[in-house]
Amino acid sequence: MDDAKKINEVMVSLFNIVLKIEEKAIKESTIHDLSITEMHTLDVIGIGNGRTMSEVAQRLQINLSTLTTAINKLVKKGYVERFRIPSDRRIVKIKLTKEGIDAVKEHEAFHDELIRKALGKVSDEEIKSLIVSLDNIDTFMHMQMAKPIRDERDYSLGIIDFQNLHIKKALFQGGMGVGISLGGLAGAVAKEGGMGIISGSSIGFDEEDFETDPQKANRRALKKEIKKALAIADTEKNRGMIGVNIPYNTEDYREYVKTAVSEGAGALITGAGLPMTLPGICEREGYENIALIPVISSLRAARVIIKNWQKKHRKRPDAFIFESAMAGGQLGFKESELLRARELYYKTITDIKTEIEDIPLIVAGGIFSREDARNAYVYGADGIQLGTRFVTTKECDAKESYKQAYINCKEEDIIIIMNPQGAPCRALANKFTKNLRGTDYDITEALVKAAKGDVKNGLVFCGSKAYKAKKIDTVADIFKEFI
Ligand SMILES: Cc1cc2nc3c(=O)[nH]c(=O)nc-3n(C[C@H](O)[C@H](O)[C@H](O)COP(=O)(O)O)c2cc1C
């Protein structure tokens, strides 16, 4: 039998037999009144503060009426309960009862033990290479959700020359706040020919008056960091660009835009909302040569921005950054959408690129290796943006303890927490995240603590592949690897 046939046979057989073993295990356990589908539903509801019906339906990819029938049964059996939230009595949520939580835990333990036993006679080395192979197969299967639009042999991260965006190498370094991508890192990236991005988020955290007059402290620090970045980048004649990332929900957004441009930034990058007023601000201030780059998480967002900017300002974005569900920091998806967004990653890239045509598409989130970048290219990325990879560089502005936290972390340490607005964020599990109760906390304070080096009690953002970081690189190493 040839290898492909054999592997196909094993995969199909594994899929079937695991389902049967699961069924049998449930029947023989204390939760024998549950079907596999019901167990899966309990899993999705999860051990937490409850979810809305539409969140669960979305995750399970079934319609609301099918879910309602299923939940009625689970309520009758005593595994799920409905409740109203005190702050808005109109909203009904569902959560697991104690019996439901025990069932999910028992089922998790079953899976864990099954795999452990199955791997009992396999050596550590073999397990390591098995994980790599399975990971590759998983990536390949995800790629089957869309049709490639380019040949992988043509992969290149070359020049982008579009409207106000002029870079020698289509490699962006993501804006990382608070205090992770400042002038040092952004300058080094621009010097290599890429787009170095200073994060404007609470950038004045180290200034004396940050507590008393944060706006003033932030603007002063922003000026300093842009100067520093330009001084580094200008040592190279063929340099790339310096951009500033200003979240759209920043108080006094317009003032930061003005500070960034007047100090010499060439690009403005904005996420955390659709930056509808950005071209208007630039028009009024007479900024004609600045690249305006929105960060988006869907085709719909790209469409809305293009239509609105065109109608009101006759302006098209100079590029879009599509940030996927695998990125670090605050994500542009609801928690219930994360899994589906990951499944549709390649399809979303293709859909966006096909519609936005000549506007450069930069893809971010979960790109760790040259192969990841090439896969994004094949499906439509004109360039890539890396966050996590640049944290563990010599030039990164983060404290040494921050970089080491990446190098020492394991895959299971990378978790999703909710920000105070209820949006998911990817971060490293530590004392801070363990002690989190709900969303009533000061996120800026937590990020500043980590930026100052306290990576146990502060909030450390990271991308989904941070566990792959093994050493400190230089920015030049990363350009060599990806270009
Ligand atoms: C430590 C950290 C902080 C981040 N902070 C911001 C931010 O303030 N604003 C933003 O738009 N994106 C932020 N991001 C997202 C990055 O800019 C980038 O798009 C993303 O991390 C890319 O995914 P990767 O880390 O898997 O490469 C942050 C990412 C990290 C890892």
Is any atom of ligand 1 closer than 6 Å to the C-beta of 245? yes
Amino acid at 102: D
- Which ligand 1 atom is the nearest neighbour of the CA of 180? 1
Q: How far is the CA of 162 from the centre of ligand 1 (A)?
A: 24
Nearby residues of 370 by Cβ (< 8 Å), 6 or more positions away: 481, 482
User: Ligand 1, residues 172, 176, 322: which to mutate, most atoms within 8 A of Cβ?
Assistant: 176
Tell whether ligand 1 has an atom less than 6 A from the beta carbon of residue 259: no
Per-residue pLDDT reduced to its tens digit, 314-332: 999 999 999 999 999 999 9
The reply to whether ligand 1 has any atom less than 6 angstroms from the CB of 177 is yes
Fold topology of 3-120: Arc Repressor Mutant, subunit A (1.10.10)
- Say if residue 1's pLDDT is above 70: no
Name the DSSP letter for residue 175.
-
Sign of torsion, CA 139 140 142 147? positive
Query: Strand ranges (DSSP E) for 79-175?
Result: 80-85, 88-96, 160-162, 165-167, 171-173
Give DSSP secondary structure letters for 200-219: -TTTTTTSTTTTT-HHHHHH
Highest mean pLDDT among 25-34, 91-100, 172-181, 437-446: 172-181
Contact 425, 479 (CB under 8 A): no
Check: CB of residue 32 under 8 Å from CB of residue 99: no
| CA 222 – ligand 1 centroid, Å | 18
From the CA of 291, how far away is ligand 1's center (Å)? 20
Cα 73 to middle of ligand 1, angstroms: 42
Please work out whether the CB of residue 294 comes within 6 Å of at least one atom of ligand 1.
no
Q: Where in the chain is the domain with CATH 3.20.20.70?
A: 152-400+470-482
The residue assigned the tokens 């289509």 is 170
Q: Tens digit of pLDDT for each residue in 374-413?
A: 999 999 999 999 999 999 999 999 999 999 999 999 999 9
Give bridge partners of residue 82 from the DSSP assignment: 94
What local confidence, expressed as pLDDT, does residue 246 receive? 96
- CA 250 – ligand 1 centroid, Å: 16
> For the chain, where do the domains classified as CATH 1.10.10.10 start and end?
3-120
- Look at strands 329-330 and 361-364 and give their pairing: unpaired
- Location of structure tokens 């070359």: 158
Does ligand 1 come within 6 angstroms of the Cβ of 41? Answer: no
For the CA of 464, the closest atom of ligand 1 is 26
Per-residue pLDDT tens over the stretch 284-298 = 999 989 999 999 999
Distance 32 CA to ligand 1 centre (A): 44
CA distance 357 to 199: 28
Higher pLDDT, residue 61 or 125: 125
Rounded to the nearest whole angstrom, what is the distance from the C-alpha of residue 304 to the centroid of ligand 1?
A: 23
CATH code at 152-400+470-482 = 3.20.20.70
pLDDT in tens, 410-432: 999 999 999 998 899 999 999 99
Distance 176 CA to ligand 1 centre (A): 5
* Single-letter amino acid code for the residue at 46: G
Q: How confident is the model at residue 335 (pLDDT cuts 50, 70, 90)?
A: confident
Q: Is 175 in the pocket of ligand 1 (CB under 6 A)?
A: yes
Residue 182 near residue 397 (C-beta atoms within 8 A): yes
Helix, strand or coil, per DSSP, at residue 91: strand
Dump pLDDT digits (tens) for 204-236. Answer: 999 999 999 999 999 999 999 999 999 999 999
Ligand 1 proximity of 329 Cβ (cutoff 6 Å): yes
Residue with tokens 């085709």: 299
Q: State if residue 196 touches ligand 1 by the CB under 6 angstroms criterion.
A: no
Task: Name the strand (E) or helix (H) holding 242.
Answer: strand 241-245
